[in-house]
Amino acid sequence: MPELPIGKDVATTAPDDAFEVTPTAANPVSVGTHTFRLIVVDAEGNRSEPAFAKVFVFETDKPTARLTALPERVPFGQTFKLSAEGSKDVGSGIKTFIWTRID
């Protein structure tokens, strides 16, 4: 199956009238709304009016939170650092970090 890059026409003569879109590293399909267009051409070269479809791609994997304290032991009254470095999301990225002190 050929890839469908953004903004480039891809012609097929597939008898099943379908086009399977498979994301790859070279042709990713990001989270969000994507619009697709179809024009068909008959044997005489007449082109149809375009038909459009929208597909909303969403992510279902949860992000991973990683919290570290640097240093883990501090003298009374001294500053320490909390780090979210290493937290990750495989989709659109982390938008918000929610910090809570629980004693």
pLDDT tens-place string over residues 64-94: 999 999 999 999 999 999 999 999 998 778 9
Average pLDDT over residues 13-18: 75
* Structural domain span for residue 40: 1-58
User: SS3 of 34, please?
Assistant: strand
Residues 45 and 66 in one domain: no
Residues 78 and 67 in one domain: yes
Task: Give the position of tokens 């650092």.
Answer: 81
Question: Distance (Å, rounded) from C-alpha 55 to C-alpha 78?
Answer: 53
Residue 1 has a pLDDT of 58
On the question of pLDDT at 19 being above 70, the answer is: yes
On the question of pLDDT at 100 being above 90, the answer is: yes
Task: Give the position of tokens 């038909």.
Answer: 51
Residue 19 · residue 1 · CB < 8 Å: yes
Residue 62 · residue 55 · CB < 8 Å: no
Residues 51 and 12 in one domain: yes
Residues 102 and 88 in one domain: yes
Give CA angle at 55 (53, 59), nearest 5°: 180
pLDDT tens-place string over residues 35-59: 999 999 999 999 999 999 999 988 8
